[in-house]
């Protein structure tokens, strides 16, 4: 697996596809091992996935649809459409099945962050 570089997520290789998970908050796709080792480069300040397999299981899912490779988030219309233009470059799921728990929603709200589920139910 490629070493995590500043401002980008590692890109999983073909042998790891069955181990891929998507962050329920930002939809970034990584292996569960990468989420545990590095956390989510977009959300780890809040989700605190680094070093915790339990939290990785709680806030990521292996049930997602579609994959978008975002190379230049600020210039990509697809990244704007997916609400990932302010995120790191990497692979993102189009839709993520599952939702973060009520406790995490309240934590986000207390920080002034509006939670938008990535399952397609939240329409702008």
CATH number of the domain residue 40 falls in:
3.30.40.210
User: In total, how many domains does the chain have?
Assistant: 1
Q: Which domain holds residue 39?
A: 20-111
Rounded percentage of the chain residues whose pLDDT exceeds 90: 60
Can you say whether residue 27 is alpha, beta or left, with left for phi > 0 and alpha for psi between -120 and 50 degrees? Answer: left
The 10s digit of each residue's pLDDT in 49-90 is 999 999 999 999 999 999 999 999 889 888 888 888 889 999
Model confidence band, residue 1 (pLDDT cutoffs 50, 70, 90): very low
**Gap between the Cα atoms of 71 and 87, Å rounded:** 11
pTM to 2 decimals? 0.81
């Amino acid at each position: 697996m490629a070493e995590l570089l500043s401002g980008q997520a590692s890109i999983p290789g073909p042998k790891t596809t069955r181990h891929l998970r998507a962050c329920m908050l930002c939809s970034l796709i990584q292996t569960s091992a990468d989420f545990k080792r590095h956390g989510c480069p977009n959300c780890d300040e809040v989700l605190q996935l680094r070093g915790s397999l339990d939290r990785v299981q709680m806030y990521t899912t292996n049930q997602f649809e579609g994959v978008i490779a975002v190379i230049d988030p600020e210039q990509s219309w697809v990244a704007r459409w997916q609400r990932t233009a302010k995120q790191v470059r990497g692979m993102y799921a189009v839709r993520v099945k599952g939702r973060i728990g009520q406790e995490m929603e309240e934590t986000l709200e207390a920080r002034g962050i509006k939670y938008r589920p990535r399952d397609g139910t939240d329409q702008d």
